[in-house]
Amino acid sequence: MHKVGQKSIPVHLFPALTVNQRTATMEKFRRVSPFRLAALIRAQKDPKLAFQFFLNPNSNVNPSSKSNQRPYSYSLLSYDLIITKLGKAKMFDELELILSKLKQETRFKPTEIIFCNIITYYSRAHLPERAIHMFDEIPSFHCQRTVKSVNTLLNGLLICREFDKMWKILLGFDWFACPDVCTYNIMINACRMQNDMQGAWKVFDEMRKKGILPNAITFSTLITGLCACLKVKDALELKKDMIRVYNIKPTKYVYASLIKGLCECNELNLSFKLKDEMFENDVEVDSSIYTTLISGIFKVGRTDEVNVVLEEMKRNGCIPDTATYNALIAGYCAAKRLDLALEFLNELEEKAFKPDVISYNVLIRAYFNEGKLREAMDLFEDMPRRGCKPDVLSYRIAMQGLLSEMKLKEVVFLLDEMMFKGYAPHLLTVNKLMSLLHEEGDYELMLEVVNSLAKGNYIDDNCWRLAVSTIFAKHEAVNFHSVFDALTNSISEAH
């Protein structure tokens, strides 16, 4: 019996072979086929190991064997799989090595979608120059560029906010392909993101002049931009043209933008009419629509209508999510109904959706603003038990609230805890704390603050000045060297 990997091959399967022929046959059995390599790469979760599999598919074969000297016949699928894994893992140096091997392939031509994916990986990693270079290199792989790769590059540059480069690509578009509706949608979105709705209209007009019909995404992008600029009347007119002229039904995203824009303009009644229109046209009304309406209700002070909306949500089988509860908590905090805000926070904990840190921060700030120091700190300290860790904003809110009540010892304690967790305090809060300690001449607390700030290397010139002047005011008889030694010893202990 001859062992090949984990399996044994009976000698009688090739009795007429010589020893050398038998060895060569077994080596052939041991070689990993292109199909097997693709399966190994697909199954390997670790991109580093997958990369090693790709580079050394037959590492277990006898190095002295002549069969091992032949170039491995990689499949296009293997290239596609390893490129995907390396791109998602942002292992771009390794990806470049794979591309150099792919460029040397003569048995097949890679498809354009592979390069589109690579451009997307570079764009998501905010490497626009690499994305452009990959686009320029596509022909060297014997692959023709089409509108698909141009659009991918434009969208990638949009992700990187490289707007000027996008226009340059668009000007040279005719060298590669003819722009399509997707091309113009990307450029309209670029204008929207720059709040340039005049530019967006120019792109829209050029699109129509070239006989390219807009689609639902075109109108959704334009309407979203108009609503963001509070040009809601223009957005509503465009919605009418969308239906009447182009026979395109408004999508959920169109309605969501319009409802949000109307709520921002305090046109609440019209917002509710659009919501009813969504039901009439069989457009999904999800929790985000109701959340926007709830925020709008609080904005215009019609708080009594909140329960009506919540009841309608339940009636229509729409479950309030964390964002909905956050809107309720924020709304009731703004209305100074902190009891109801706390009720909704507690109710949210009982639901499938858990409160996020925003839920707590809004209510904690509201408690401080109303002078309810104890309630604010109880909720802050209770956050970990409730399954939500305080973030940097939580600490900053608590520090500012305690500082406004002159609870300096508590502020210093929070500062130390904050620095220990790696959170940076707000500079204005630190300066105010140092100033108050200086005014009170609290030498001991001042040293504690310096010690805490030193842990995060957060001491600035103003902190040094106040610390030194405080110590001089407290101990007029001491010399400068004594003061300096006290401060440097404090910093050394912190490290």
pLDDT digits (tens, 9 = 90+) for 315-336: 999 989 999 999 999 999 999 9
Does 439 reside within a domain? Answer: yes
Q: What is the pLDDT of residue 492?
A: 53
The C-alpha atoms of residue 314 and residue 326 are separated, in whole angstroms, by 17
pLDDT mean over 59-75: 64
Total count of domains within the chain = 1
Does 438 reside within a domain? Answer: yes
Q: Return the minimum-mean-pLDDT range out of 129-143, 287-301, 350-364, 456-470.
A: 456-470
Q: Integer distance in angstroms from the first to the last C-alpha of the chain?
A: 66
Does 212 reside within a domain? Answer: no
pLDDT mean over 102-114: 93
Residue 451, token pair as written in the block: 């010690």
Does 430 reside within a domain? Answer: yes
Beta bridge partners of 9: 2
pTM: 0.77
Handedness of CA 82, 88, 93, 95 (dihedral sign): positive
CB count within 10 Å of CB 4 equals: 15
Percent of the chain having pLDDT more than 70? 83
pLDDT mean over 109-118: 96
- With beta carbons less than 8 A apart as the criterion, state whether 231 and 197 touch: yes
The one-letter amino acid at 484: F
Q: Return the minimum-mean-pLDDT range out of 32-36, 73-77, 187-191, 266-270.
A: 32-36
Q: What is the pLDDT of residue 488?
A: 55
Q: Angle between the 373-382 and 392-404 helix axes, to the nearest 10 degrees?
A: 160
Find tokens 């009976």 and name the residue.
Answer: 10
pLDDT digits (tens, 9 = 90+) for 424-469: 888 888 888 888 887 877 777 877 877 777 766 666 666 656 666 6
Does 154 reside within a domain? Answer: no
Does 476 reside within a domain? Answer: yes
Q: What is the pLDDT of residue 444?
A: 78
pLDDT band with cut points at 50, 70 and 90 for residue 493: low
Q: What is the pLDDT of residue 30?
A: 56
pLDDT mean over 386-413: 92
Q: What is the pLDDT of residue 151?
A: 96
The one-letter amino acid at 370: E
Does 486 reside within a domain? Answer: yes
pLDDT mean over 258-280: 95
3-state secondary structure the chain: CEEECCEEECHHHCCCCCHHHHHHHHHHHHCCCHHHHHHHHHHCCCHHHHHHHHHCCCCCCCCCCHHHHCCCCCCHHHHHHHHHHHHHCCCHHHHHHHHHHHHCCCCCCCCHHHHHHHHHHHHHCCCHHHHHHHHHHHHHHCCCCCHHHHHHHHHHHHHCCCHHHHHHHHHCHHHCCCCCHHHHHHHHHHHHHCCCHHHHHHHHHHHHHCCCCCCHHHHHHHHHHHHHCCCHHHHHHHHHHHHHCCCCCCCHHHHHHHHHHHHHCCCHHHHHHHHHHHHHCCCCCCHHHHHHHHHHHHHCCCHHHHHHHHHHHHHCCCCCCHHHHHHHHHHHHHCCCHHHHHHHHHHHHHCCCCCCHHHHHHHHHHHHHCCCHHHHHHHHHHCCCCCCCCCHHHHHHHHHHHHHCCCHHHHHHHHHHHHHCCCCCCHHHHHHHHHHHHHHCCHHHHHHHHHHHHHCCCCCHHHHHHHHHHHHHHCCCCCHHHHHHHHHHHHHHHC
* Whether residue 69 has pLDDT greater than 90: no
The one-letter amino acid at 259: I
pLDDT mean over 409-427: 88
Q: What is the CA radius of gyration of the chain?
A: 33
Beta bridge partners of 7: 4
Q: What is the pLDDT of residue 461?
A: 63
Residues of the domain holding 422 = 418-495
The C-alpha atoms of residue 77 and residue 39 are separated, in whole angstroms, by 10
pLDDT band with cut points at 50, 70 and 90 for residue 24: very low
Q: Which of 440, 384, 375, 391 is nearest to 412 (CA)?
A: 440
Q: What is the pLDDT of residue 428?
A: 84
Residue 220, token pair as written in the block: 């959704």
Which is more confidently placed, 198 or 481? Answer: 198
pLDDT digits (tens, 9 = 90+) for 232-247: 999 999 999 999 999 9
Q: Which of 314, 279, 272 is nearest to 294 (CA)?
A: 272
Long-range contacts of 268-275 (CB under 8 A, 24+ apart): 268/293, 268/296, 268/297, 268/300, 268/302, 271/296
Does 189 reside within a domain? Answer: no
